[in-house]
Amino acid sequence: MKFAVVVFPGSNCDHDAYHAARHVLGQDAVFVWHKETSLQGADAVILPGGFSHGDYLRTGAIARFSPVMNTVTAFARGGGPVLGICNGFQILLEAGLLPGAMLRNKDLKFHCEHVHLRVEQTDTPFTLRAPVGQTLRIPIAHGEGNYFAEPDVLRDLEASRRVVFRYCDTSGIATPGSNPNGAVNNIAGICNEGRNVVGLMPHPERACEPALGSADGLVLFESVVSALAAQASLP
Amino acid sequence: MSAHDSAVLERHGLKPDEYDRIVQALGREPSLTELGIFSVMWSEHCSYKSSRIHLKKLPTRGPRVLQGPGENAGAVDIGGGLAAVFKIESHNHPSFIEPYQGAATGVGGIIRDIFTMGARPIALLNSLRFGPMDGATGARTRRTVEGVVAGIAGYGNSIGIPTIGGEIAFEDCYAGNPLVNVMCLGIARSDALVKGNAGGVGNPVYYVGARTGRDGIHGATMASAEFDDRSAEKRPAVQVGDPFMEKLLLEACLELMKGDALIGVQDMGAAGLTCATSEMGARGGCGIEIDVQHVPQRETGMTPYEIMLSESQERMLLVVKRGREAEVEAIFQKWDLHAARIGSVTETGLLQVKSRGETVAEIPNAALVDEAPVYDRPTARPRYLDEVHRLDLESLTPVSPQQALGSLLSSPTIASKRWVYRQYDHMVRTNTLVLAGMGAGVVRVKGTPRALAMSTDGNGRYCYLDPRRGAMLALAEAARNVACAGAVPIGATNCLNFGNPEKPDIMWGLVEAIEGLSDACRALDIPITGGNVSLYNETDGRAIFPTPVIGVVGLIEDASCALGRSFRAAGSEIVLLGASVGRGDAEPKGRAASAGLGGSEYLKILHGLIAGDVPHLDLEAERALLALLAKATAGRLLLSAHDCSDGGLAVTLAESAFDSGGIGCLVDLPAEGAMGEWDVLADLFGEAGGRVVVSVAAGSLGPLMDLAAECGVPARRVGRTGGDRIAVTVGGRAAIDWKLADAERLWSEALAQYFARPAA
């Protein structure tokens, strides 16, 4: 299968996502410049982390206007799997592909460290290989990862089982102490109604090799490979 | 009769005799614009006029050195057709005036130096020095620390280069003059290093990046003067960083460098357009003619003087091949950057500056660069040295070892720096093999089996007591740190932070430090490939301690051999490599305990003393230790390795247990004859160099001892890992017995607690 890694000006985890897809997973991967309008036939799209356009305005607020985003939106509406990581998640929020918004971390500081996540839902293309409740050790690196949504939006997200990842402690319990940024309901990642668009603040592409301290993030990429293989084998 | 009065000269930091030299070089009186150009190029910051003759003493060649000092950065061969390109630089003065932007633009500047060489930057480190976090200046220091750390994080995180290591120390002398030294390392193809040369008469000269504003005018001159209570007025001379612009420049320049349209490139850092044009011309032995009206400007009505001296950030000067303009412009256009053609290369050897066609400055490049003044300034050994070397321990009351360890672990210099490094993205680019805080920074080199380890070290207290040995210890410690990570040191970069060189006692310290560093580099076979000198680090006439900071880069042939400092398994054997205790086996018999504790963190924290002889150093033993560590790590004999430095052996043992997941240790240090209280303290907290604590699986103990004997390194099994306590006895007598979790909590939380306080 083929991953498209979208490159916005200021993306800085584009090479890391490409490396995970291409060199760790052994799948095909291409960079797609934000001014392009073709995804080059990719089967899945990754919006990588970074500081698109410097994030001097709200994070992701300018990137949503890039020409490529029309194509990504159409791809998502057609059911194609889209993963937004960190700044990519923020761009998905700004583009309206996912609900909610990001606030600055509650202590107003950038945090880079390993955290624990509980996999809440496994019926998305990025989690289907993970058992429900699996605890993943994956790094975060952000200053604005404090997820917020209006109460009715939040109720809807929870009721429709669209919170995909929650910050938790080592034993898998979502506690205030294990929440690194103040995100409402310890939310680390969510999906859209169609469940094919997933955004999360932690960086699974940084946790794909034991040499880097954890390979727990690999399951997200392996899941989408499986999801697409299953789809391809349908009559 | 001079065309410029003495007030004008003083404002430009030029001495009367320097003005005479300008007149001589030009054969006439300079215009004000020309005076401005000379003043920045002949400033201490750009010309190294006080240090140049001494810097020549440093060894700069070696089989791996591809580029020594003189270019934007140094480069060493790391095999596989690749080069590590690296340099350290200071941004002390701007960071004192405006901590966030001062530190941020320091990071931006050193990154430009690296990618200018054609290298993709993959790692950042920093060495920071601040005043005490408590006391009268504590509140201001805490604000400075917060600003500097946030500035480093803000720039590095945004541009996407991991900050993988460094060091921070706190000392009274930095209260009015903090030090911010930043190191960057990049990877380039060794056959494709780019130089900062102009060449080819008629080739176009391009300006790319941010527009020029009035910010930073005379920044280089500011960095070449002492501070006083009016320094806040100099705030406009500090620039504002834009990491997004630099990210675009980085990607566009690397894309351009893949082809062959480029002749040379230089960033506009200190002294801005002036420095970039004159240095590129001087290196290429040619002239450059520009018209400032073509320089993109962010303000209206800027004079040629202002345009030439502006230090606006994120700007590059390029010379490209004639006929390839469209290709070059298209690459920058892709990245939404405007490449403005501002002039061309000439055969005249002159820097010719025009404004709307009219010549406003015409100066031989050589006069600005190669013929800048060089001073052999007088030196005098400072008188205070006789005083501070006296150390009478009998007049002090010894503190119990456990209480001393507690005080040291919670002192800001030794306490965990997690509060700092968690603000730095230290994992982006997915190369970081040893996470921040776990020893030297280690990054793998993708596409090869190799990894690079790097460490920046320095100790102002040692250098205050003995600048020569202090500088040697700084190099030895940095080398030892990368060796502990499994690397062979292959190159070093230095940042020499000193006071006013016009004062003979300061100049003496500078010369001593350079000579000490030079001797140590030769003994350990580590060439210096470049660096930076920061002088005039004084506020209200009070100088900082002499503070050479050394960054060492080491090569790990097999990345999977990289090691961290923490114990990995209970039941492994703990071995002390090198002289056995704080006093040092190799020292002359009969040396008192006072020798072991000289200059130590123990004396400073527990007794408020900076005194005595600085720690022992034996460069031959150090060299043998480096060789042993290289062999032992390559042979996969070691589970962890941590060197003894600040706080001595006791702190090293405690830190080896920290971040290990709760693996304690049981250690018995050998006693030599009758041990008095001070002897025990000296063994535990003395900071003699050349020592490393390693842990090994039981089965590797024999092979390690054999290897140590072969390398001529004393090695002694001193204990075993395991349990939930840090338990240390000396000659069987209890010295420290502390629950690991309690000690670790104290150490982990000490620094963060300073920032939990309300800002004053």
| Domain assignments of chain A as residue spans, ordered by start | 2-232
Please give the distance of CA B449 from its chain centroid, rounded to a whole number.
27
pLDDT in tens, A203-217: 999 999 999 999 999
- Residue B584's pLDDT band, with cuts at 50, 70 and 90, is very low
- Residue keyed to tokens 């810097």: B55
User: Residue B563's closest chain A neighbor by CA?
Assistant: A211
Q: Residues of A with CB below 8 A from B158's CB?
A: 10, 12, 51, 54-55
Answer for the pair B603, B613: CB distance below 8 angstroms, yes or no: no
Structure tokens given for B200: 């080819």
Mean pLDDT of B365-375: 94
Q: What is the mean pLDDT of residues B306-310?
A: 94
As a three-state string, the secondary structure of B217-264 is CCHHHHCCCCECCCHHHHHHHCCCCCHHHHHHHHHHHHHHHHCCCEEE
Q: Is B572 helix (H, G, I), strand (E, B) or coil?
A: coil
Mutate to test the interface with B, among A110, A140, A181 (most CBs of B within 10 A): A110
Shortest Cα distance from A170 to chain B (angstroms)?
Answer: 13
Q: How close B564 comes to chain A (CA, Å)?
A: 12
Q: Percent of chain B beyond pLDDT 90?
A: 87
Look over chain B and give the mean of its residue pLDDT values, rounded to a whole number. 93
The mean pLDDT of B26-48, rounded to a whole number, is 94
Output DSSP code: residue B734.
E
- Hey, which residues does B696 pair with through a beta bridge? B573
Q: Å from B150 to nearest chain A CA?
A: 8
Q: Which pLDDT score, from 0 to 100, does residue B220 have? A: 64
pLDDT band at B588 (very low <50, low <70, confident <90, very high): very low
**Residue found under tokens 């020893």:** B439
DSSP of B158-200, one letter per residue? HHT--EEEEEEEE-GGGTTS-EEEEEEEEEEEGGG-------S
Active site residue A208: no
Catalytic residues of B: 45, 91
The string of pLDDT tens digits covering residues B461-479 is 999 999 999 999 999 999 9
**Which residues in chain A have Cβ-Cβ distances shorter than 8 Å to B450?**
none
Minimum-distance CB partner of A12 among B160, B432, B560: B160
**Of A122, A109, A102, which is closest to residue A198 (Cα–Cα)?**
A122
Length of chain A measured in residues: 235
Residue of B nearest to A180 (CA): B422
C-alpha to C-alpha distance for B547 and A37, rounded to whole angstroms: 54
pLDDT per residue as tens digits for the range B545-556: 999 999 999 999
| Residue whose structure tokens are 């990581």 | A85
B416 touches chain A (CB under 8 A): no
Domain at A2-232, CATH class = alpha beta
H-type helices in B289-362, by residue range? 304-309, 325-334
A10/B247 Cβ within 8 A: yes
**Judged by CB atoms within 8 Å, which residues 160-189 of B form the interface with A?**
160
The residue of A7, A11, A12, A216 whose CB has the most chain B CBs within 10 angstroms, and thus the best one to mutate to test that interface, is: A12
Residue B159 contacts A, CB cutoff 8 Å: yes
Alpha helix positions (H), B447-580: 460-465, 467-484, 504-524
Mean pLDDT of B282-287: 94
Query: What count of other Cβ atoms lies within 10 Å of the Cβ of residue B191?
Result: 9
Q: Is B424 on the interface with A (CB under 8 A)?
A: yes
Of B150, B159, B446, the CB nearest to A12: B159
A16, A53, A54: residue with CB nearest B430: A16
- Tell me the pLDDT band of B594, cut-offs 50, 70 and 90: low
Q: Is A53 a catalytic residue?
A: no
Query: Which one of the listed residues A13, A86, A168, A191 is annotated catalytic?
Result: A86
- AA identity, residue B104: A
Asked if B422 and A10 come within 8 Å (Cβ–Cβ), the reply is: no
Cα of A161 to nearest chain B Cα, Å: 31
CA distance B37 to B214: 15
The residues near A84 (Cβ < 8 Å, ≥ 6 apart) are A46, A47, A90, A91, A92, A97, A98, A197, A198, A199, A200
What pLDDT sits at residue B270? Answer: 84
How many CB atoms within 10 Å of residue B628? Answer: 25
Q: Is B333 on the interface with A (CB under 8 A)?
A: no
Identify which of B646, B603, B612, B708 has the alpha carbon closest to the alpha carbon of residue B477: B646
- Which chain A residues touch B560 with a CB distance below 8 Å? 211
Q: Do the beta carbons of residue B178 and residue B128 sit within 8 Å?
A: yes
- pLDDT (tens digit per residue) in B403-435: 999 999 999 999 999 999 999 999 999 999 998
Q: Which residue in A has a C-alpha nearest to residue B562's C-alpha? A: A211
Kindly report, residue by residue over B492-530, the tens digit of the pLDDT: 999 999 999 999 999 999 999 999 999 999 999 999 999
Candidates B160, B247, B424; nearest CB to A112: B424
The residues near A85 (Cβ < 8 Å, ≥ 6 apart) are A13, A17, A46, A47, A48, A49, A199, A200, A202, A203, A204, A205
Residue B183's closest CA among B453, B488, B494? B494
pLDDT on residue B593 = 62
pLDDT of B760 reads: 42
Give the DSSP letter string of B87-156.
EEEE-HHHHHHSHHHHHHHHHHHHHHHHHTTT-EEEEEEEEEEE--SSSTTHHHHHHHHHHHHHHHHHHH
- Inform me whether the pLDDT recorded for B4 exceeds 90: no
Lowest mean per-residue pLDDT among B156-165, B547-556, B671-680: B671-680
pTM over 0.80: yes
Contact assessment for residue A39 and residue A4, using Cβ atoms and an 8 Å cutoff: yes
pLDDT band at B758 (very low <50, low <70, confident <90, very high): low
Rounded (to 5) percent helix, strand, coil in chain B: 40, 25, 35
Taking one residue from A and the other from B, the number of pairs with CB-CB distance under 8 angstroms is: 86
Determine phi and psi for B534, rounding to 5 degrees. -120, 110
Rounded Cα distance, B280 and B285, in Å: 8
Cβ contact, residue pair A143, B242, below 8 Å: no
Please state, in angstroms and rounded to a whole number, the distance separating the CA atoms of residues B553 and B121. 14
How far, in Å, CA of A147 to CA of B136, rounded?
40
Neighbours of B541 (CB within 10 A): 11
Hey, is the C-beta of B425 within 8 angstroms of any chain A C-beta? yes
CA distance B752 to B418: 8
Q: Which residue in chain A has the smallest CA separation from B147?
A: A109
